[in-house]
């Protein structure tokens, strides 16, 4: 029988990572002859604005072929692995594993909601009851049910990329020892196939995390065969490598911003896209962040371009009231200091307005610019003293530096789901099958 398995909330701020637990499960299941992986393991990123996330709001799913008689055994193997992987600290993980025997349109809708909004645990509970999905909450809380259920709802992904994740043992702490020059060389050599691994403006390697999790390095790519080549090269330049795995993932696809909302329908924590007109001059806030207001026929909202968005923040300074825009981002709830705010991740300038500037007329006698002679008194030349009531103000159309087009943040500000420029217009990978080597051990 076919089986979908979803896992979430295994990680904690003190270490571990749901993807590492996924790699342990792959190691265990790949030794069992009767079990077949029907696809790569899935790393599913969900709404990046959810406050309960530890880091990147990721959940893991598997699509397997399992003999009926092995089902009970399998559940035991997986729950045992997750139990052993848990690290308990102040923020308790609420891990949940779900087992579903089929794909379902309602699960798919649940994934889409979890990708773009805040969903409630009771909604997830109602859905598992209705669909007869088995789930196991391994600790007292069961918040992980949301991510685990959404992860199986995402399978099979229509649009996807791949990530090679290389791990050290979770007990190892301290600086990761990786040859950074090698990582930069790899980025240069495979640039057509990899993305979001390096930020050139800040010269930062984005592929190497800094937290307590066991990930040594994660390389994102559109091609799992290329990841295999990269993995061989990287293995020579990093210390403490314990295991590696290639995940199929919704990262880099921009799917979290596909929901287009009217401004009046926006709710806290949504990820969405709005379409409207700039209704205020850009305001530069303390710290260099830029705020503008955008309105549509249903309302008006503050839109914030954080300084960290680099290029996007610079572009926002050039917006003018009247410009037509489409913007995508995450919604920050209102507080006593600010209203509901869209933190902008992507900006499409549809149309720019003409900017007119009015000048006092030029003196016909001496070509000097005249001054107002007072209310309803016309103009007076400060150089030659010429006076007139007939002259009109000169209107000059100022050229705009900002051109219509799509503007993205600097890679440093990318979220896991952000679509990088090189993937815009990309039609998807040719490699739809499981490559021979996709994990170790």
Question: What residues line the site for ligand ATP (CB under 6 A)?
Answer: 8-9, 11, 17-18, 46-47, 50, 52-58, 94, 114, 118-119, 143-144, 146-147
CB of 105 vs ligand ATP, minimal distance in Å: 19
Q: Cα–Cα distance between 244 and 135 in angstroms, integer?
A: 27
For ligand ATP, the closer of residues 17 and 206 by Cβ is: 17
- Greatest alpha-carbon pair distance for the chain in Å reads 103
Give the residue with the Cβ less far from ligand ATP, 144 or 310: 144
CB of 323 to ligand ATP, least distance (A): 32
Using the minimum distance from each CB to ligand ATP, give the nearer residue, 92 or 295. Answer: 92
- Determine how β-strand 379-380 pairs with β-strand 387-388: antiparallel
**Residue 311 Cβ, how far from ligand ATP at the closest point, in Å?**
26
Can you spell out the DSSP letters for 318-356? T--TT-EEEEEEEEEPP-SS--SEEEEEEEEEEEPPPEE
Of 50 and 326, nearer to ligand ATP (C-beta) is 50
Complex with ligand ATP: residue 143 or 176, whichever CB lies closer: 143
Please spell the DSSP secondary structure of 375-416, one letter per residue: TTS-EE-TTT--EESS--PEEEEEPPS--SEEE---GGG--T
Instruction: Give the Cβ contact number of residue 384 at 10 Å.
Output: 14
How many Å separate Cα 338 from the centre of its chain? 23
- DSSP class of residue 360 equals P
Q: How far is the CB of 144 from ligand ATP (least distance, A)?
A: 4
Q: Smallest distance, Å, CB 15 to ligand ATP? A: 10
CB of 333 to ligand ATP, least distance (A): 14
Residue with Cβ nearer ligand ATP (18 or 161)? 18
Q: Measured between alpha carbons, how far is 218 from 318 in angstroms, rounded to an integer?
A: 35
Q: Is 375 exposed, middle or buried (0-12, 13-18, 19+ CB in 10 A)?
A: exposed
Q: Are 36 and 23 in contact (CB under 8 A)?
A: no
CB-based contact 402:349 (threshold 8 Å): yes
Minimum distance from residue 96 beta carbon to ligand ATP (Å): 7
Nearer to ligand ATP, 53 or 314 (CB): 53
Which residue, 190 or 414, has its beta carbon nearer to ligand ATP? Answer: 414
Cβ nearer to ligand ATP, comparing 146 with 312: 146
The token pair at 82 is 């997750």
Least distance (Å) between residue 292 CB and ligand ATP = 27
- Least separation in angstroms between residue 170's CB and ligand ATP is 12
Three-class secondary structure assignment of 246-303: EEEECCCCCHHHCCECCHHHCCCCCEEEEEEEECCCCEECCCCCEEEEEEECCEEEEE
Q: Which is nearer to ligand ATP, 55 or 189 (CB)?
A: 55
Is there a cis peptide before residue 156, judged by omega within 30 degrees of 0? Answer: yes
Residue whose C-alpha is closest to residue 266's, from 71, 118, 391, 432: 118
**Number of C-beta neighbours around residue 17 at 10 A:** 26
Query: In 10 A of CB 220, how many CB atoms?
Result: 25
Q: Which two tokens stand for residue 371?
A: 């001054």
Report in angstroms how near the CB of residue 440 gets to ligand ATP at its nearest.
21
Closer CB to ligand ATP, 10 or 347, in the complex: 10
Report the nearest approach of ligand ATP to the CB of residue 317 (Å).
Answer: 32
């Amino acid at each position: 029988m076919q089986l979908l398995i979803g896992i979430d909330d295994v990680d904690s701020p003190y270490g571990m990572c749901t993807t590492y637990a996924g790699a342990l499960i792959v190691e265990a299941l790949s030794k069992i002859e009767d079990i077949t992986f029907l696809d790569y393991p899935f790393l599913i990123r969900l709404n990046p604005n959810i406050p309960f996330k530890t880091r990147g709001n990721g959940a893991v799913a598997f699509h397997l072929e399992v003999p009926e008689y092995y089902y009970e055994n399998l559940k035991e193997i997986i729950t045992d692995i997750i139990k052993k992987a848990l690290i308990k600290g102040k923020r308790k993980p609420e891990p949940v594993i779900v087992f579903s025997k089929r794909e379902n349109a309602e699960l798919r809708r649940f994934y889409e909601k979890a990708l773009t909004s805040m969903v409630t645990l009771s909604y997830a509970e109602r859905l598992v009851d209705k669909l007869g999905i088995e789930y196991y909450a391994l600790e007292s809380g069961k918040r992980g049910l949301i991510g685990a259920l959404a992860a199986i709802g995402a399978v099979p992904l229509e649009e996807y990329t791949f990530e090679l994740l290389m791990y050290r043992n979770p007990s190892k702490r301290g600086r990761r020892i990786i040859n950074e020059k090698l990582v930069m060389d790899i980025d240069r050599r495979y640039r057509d196939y990899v993305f979001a691994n390096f930020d050139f403006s800040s010269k930062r390697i984005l592929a190497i995390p800094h937290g307590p999790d066991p990930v040594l390095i994660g390389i994102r790519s559109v091609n799992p065969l290329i990841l295999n080549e990269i993995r061989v090269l990287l293995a020579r330049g990093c210390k403490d490598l314990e295991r590696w795995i290639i995940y199929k993932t919704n990262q880099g696809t921009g799917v979290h911003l596909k929901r287009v909302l009217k401004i009046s329908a926006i709710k806290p924590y949504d990820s969405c896209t709005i379409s409207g007109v700039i209704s205020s001059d850009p305001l530069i806030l303390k710290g260099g962040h830029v705020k503008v207001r955008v309105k549509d026929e249903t309302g008006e909202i503050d839109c914030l371009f954080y300084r960290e968005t680099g290029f996007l923040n610079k572009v926002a300074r050039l917006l003018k009231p009247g410009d037509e825009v489409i913007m995508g981002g995450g919604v920050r709830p209102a507080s006593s200091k600010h209203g509901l705010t869209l933190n902008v991740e992507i900006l499409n300038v549809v149309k720019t307005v003409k900017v007119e500037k009015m000048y006092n007329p030029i003196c016909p006698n001496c070509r000097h610019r005249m001054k107002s002679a007072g209310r309803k008194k016309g103009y007076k030349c400060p150089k030659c003293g010429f006076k007139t009531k007939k002259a009109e103000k000169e209107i000059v159309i100022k050229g705009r530096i900002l051109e219509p087009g799509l503007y993205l943040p600097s890679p440093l500000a990318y979220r896991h789901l952000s679509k990088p420029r090189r993937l815009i217009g990309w039609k998807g990978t040719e490699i739809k099958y499981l490559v021979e080597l996709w994990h170790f051990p």
